Amino acid sequence: MAEWYDVKSTVDIPSIPGSIMAIRSKLRGIYPILLLISVTSLCGQSADNGSVGGGSLQQHYNDAQELQRIGKLSEAAEQYRAFLAHALGELAIGYSLARDYIHAAPLFDEALTLEPDSPSLLLDYARTALVLGDLAHAKTLAAEFIRKYPGDREKLAQAHQLLGRTLLKLNRDQEARKELEAAVALDPTFPNGYDLAVACLDLDDEKCAEQIFKELEASFGDTPEIHMAFGRAYGDSDFQPRAVTEFRRAIEENPRLPDAHYLLAAVLLAAGGDESHVESAEMELEKELTIFPRDPMSYTALGRIAVTRNNYPEAETYLKQAILLGPQSPDAYLYLGQMYFNTSRFADAKTALRACIRLTTDVSRNRYQVQKAHFLLGRILMKEGQQDAAQAEMEIARELANKTLAQDKSKLAGLMDTSGSQDVQASATEAGTAPTFVATTTDPLAQRKVEAMREQIRLPVADSYNNLGAIAATNDDYSRAISYFERAAVWNPSLEGLDYNWGRAAFAGSQFADAIMPLSRYLKSHPDDVGARSVLAISQFMVDNYHGCIETLQSVIGRNDLDARVEYAYAESMIRTGQFESGTEQLGALEKLHPEIPDVHRALAEALDQQGQQQRALEELRTAIQLSPRDADSHYDLGRIDLESGNTAAAIPELETAARLSPNSEKFHQELADAYTAAHRPTDAQKERETSNMLRGRVQSDASSRQAPAPAQ
């Protein structure tokens, strides 16, 4: 056996280079048009965000701002990520102390995304998951720490301890014992040794636990607190008589030791069978109240004793006093509900039982005692004729009863306080070791503190995400930039410049659907920004929202400073929404001003073709091909119109060129097959049909594979 020992940004980020974007025609096929939109600087927030709490947190934020100011953007991004990871990690721990795992877990995940190689974050997350009942995730996180960080003996020991404690709760005692033995070998502290002794007790190895406790006592001293700790361990095992001995030794050494009389009473009550045990427990509870007259657990225990004796007036007095002193504990409500049920006060029973259910944040508490509340509530609802509601409560009760049978012996039956082992932590702290995390019951004060912290860091967190997004955009990492801007909006949706940055980055990264909402919001407060309006309109055009594109550009169309490609998108949208005459007129005017743009000629050709003006359409397509000889779509459209006009000889060379330039187009090969058929070339036609069918089958296969459900894990 081992020997025991004890942001704020003050400058704009440099601009993204002017982006040349491809715009697709939505008439017949898809073809590119180059759009040059000048993209101005994506800028960080320059408002004063105040203090973020001092210490390393403030230092990271200050360093990030200074590095950004002098243009060292990579180093600034590193400091922003460090600030965010630490701030979100601290906030996650704050929610953990308030027992709010729903808010804590996503914050830990977010912090680890920012600093994936942070051992402290990973260990804190594992500890929180264990304490707040997410055992599967606690196991995963602790195992990941052991795999990734074998070099730090002290933290590695903590990870083995966390994994061991998790495995104990999962009833995997042999595996737990191995992990706890590893923790002791690495760092033989009191908590590590204590947990190993508990594992031995769960494996019914009394001699192993006794030996460890002797060594712990020899190393840390014969104190009332250490006997309390030993008593708790024995009380949670099949060796409860030893718990009575340890608690009595603790009381002998310090008769006023907090919780000692209560825990002794709990063990005596758990032993059951003998009325003398109940009488002795009652005496211990009265002693506890003499020392600590505002202890709600002792009143709850006395109330339960009175209920079992059918002394209902006395039980009601005790239990109501317990609720007054500890309104967040479900136990007194449960016994009060039982008493009301026994006395046919069903309305009062329903109220008490529902309160018990509402306040039970951990259903495994006291061996799933909330199962009784669901069962009794179901019986009351059945008496009232509410069959569906009664059936639902009974089903929950059955599920919890099954879990009770499989639960490990981690808590004393009945009344044992399961909130933690502060006495163990006190002993370890006195011996110079780091205390492990101790869960607290739901604490409104802790909740208020963590919400105050969240409000304090809200603005600098949003600012940091905004600046990270702008820095990512300058490096053309638009997907990451969008992700950062989305996070900034969660923390401060009204951050000045955020929607502008977000929309521009999404547009520059060709994620047009993601650009629309932030740019729409930005234009509501900046209606005169023609550049942003143009980018929004193009984004709407790219996702087939032609009505939106027209509406966005309606107020600025015809301006001399409007880019020709934006006017093209407007004209194309008019044609797509059935406004052929106006759209064709717009394209014609645009062609006269910018005859060098091939896509305008092609779009005009398609519009003319739809209006039956094939000869003019052919002229426009030939001009488009002269300007852009490798435009497969123009060759295809020219060949198609020739074929429809009966000019097969002229159609075939154009369609062959289109198929050669775009060999994966099913449509091009099919049209060429039709042309070969018309020219009485059956062999060539059959070859093109086979190619077209093969390409169609490939597309359908790809679509089916994307829609197929994921295989079961």
pLDDT of residue 433: 34
pLDDT at 439: 39
Residue 698 or 311, more confident:
311
Q: What is the mean pLDDT of residues 669-698?
A: 93
Q: For the stretch 238-261, what's the b/e string if a residue is b when 16 or more beta carbons lie within 10 angstroms of its beta carbon? A: ebbebbbbbbebbbebeeebbbbb
Give me the pLDDT at residue 19, please.
Answer: 29
pLDDT value for 583? 84
**Residue range 131-158: average pLDDT?**
94
Burial class (CB within 10 angstroms; exposed 0-12, middle 13-18, buried 19+) of 320: middle
Q: What is the mean pLDDT of residues 411-423?
A: 33
pLDDT tens string 516-537: 999 999 999 999 999 999 999 9
Q: How deeply is 638 buried, as exposed, middle or buried, from its count of CB atoms within 10 A (0-12, 13-18, 19+)? A: buried
pLDDT reading at 431 higher than 50: no
Q: Minimal CA–CA distance to 403: which of 171, 229, 559?
A: 171
Q: Which of 477, 471, 466 is nearest to 508 (CA)?
A: 477
Predicted pLDDT at 620? 85
Q: What is the pLDDT of residue 418?
A: 33
Kindly tell me if the per-residue pLDDT of 485 is higher than 50. Answer: yes
Give 71-127 pLDDT, tens digit per residue.
999 999 999 999 999 999 999 999 999 888 999 999 999 999 999 999 999 999 999
What are the tens digits of pLDDT across the range 214-232? 999 999 999 999 999 999 9
pLDDT of 27 over the 80 cut: no
Average pLDDT over residues 526-555: 94
pLDDT at 562 over 90: no
Cα 235 from Cα 257, distance rounded (Å) = 17
How many other CB atoms are there within 10 angstroms of residue 690's CB atom?
12
pLDDT at residue 45 tops 50: no
Judge whether residue 607 has pLDDT over 90.
no
In this structure, of 39-43, 450-454, 509-513, the range with the lowest mean pLDDT score is 39-43
In this prediction, residues 378-404 reach a mean pLDDT of 90
Name the pLDDT band for 49 (thresholds 50, 70, 90): low
Burial class (CB in 10 A: 0-12, 13-18, 19+), 680: exposed
Q: Is the pLDDT of residue 193 over 70?
A: yes
Burial letters 413-437, b for 16+ CB under 10 A, else e: bbbbbbebbebbbbbbeebebeebb
**Mean predicted lDDT score pLDDT of the chain:** 84
Binning pLDDT at 50, 70 and 90, where does residue 582 land?
confident
What percent of the chain has a predicted confidence (pLDDT) above 90? Answer: 63
Helices and strands counted in the chain (H then E): 35, 2
How confident is residue 343, by pLDDT bands cut at 50, 70 and 90?
very high
Whether the per-residue pLDDT at 483 is higher than 90: the answer is yes
Residues 6+ apart with CB under 8 A from 320: 332, 336
pLDDT band at 602 (very low <50, low <70, confident <90, very high): confident
Helix (H) or strand (E) holding 80, with range, is helix 73-97
Q: Which stretch of 94-108, 232-246, 574-588 has the lowest confidence by average pLDDT?
A: 574-588
User: Residues of the chain with pLDDT > 70: what percent?
Assistant: 85
pLDDT at 676: 94
- Lowest-pLDDT range of 355-359, 422-426, 533-537: 422-426
Stretch 285-312: mean pLDDT, rounded?
A: 94
Average pLDDT over residues 299-325: 94
Q: Which of 187-196, 390-399, 540-549, 611-620 has the lowest mean pLDDT?
A: 611-620
Q: What's the pTM value of the predicted model, to 2 decimals?
A: 0.67
The residue-averaged pLDDT of 365-387 equals: 91
Per-residue pLDDT band at 422 (split at 50, 70, 90): very low
Structure-block tokens of residue 364: 């495994």
Asked if the model's pLDDT at residue 629 lies above 60, the reply is yes
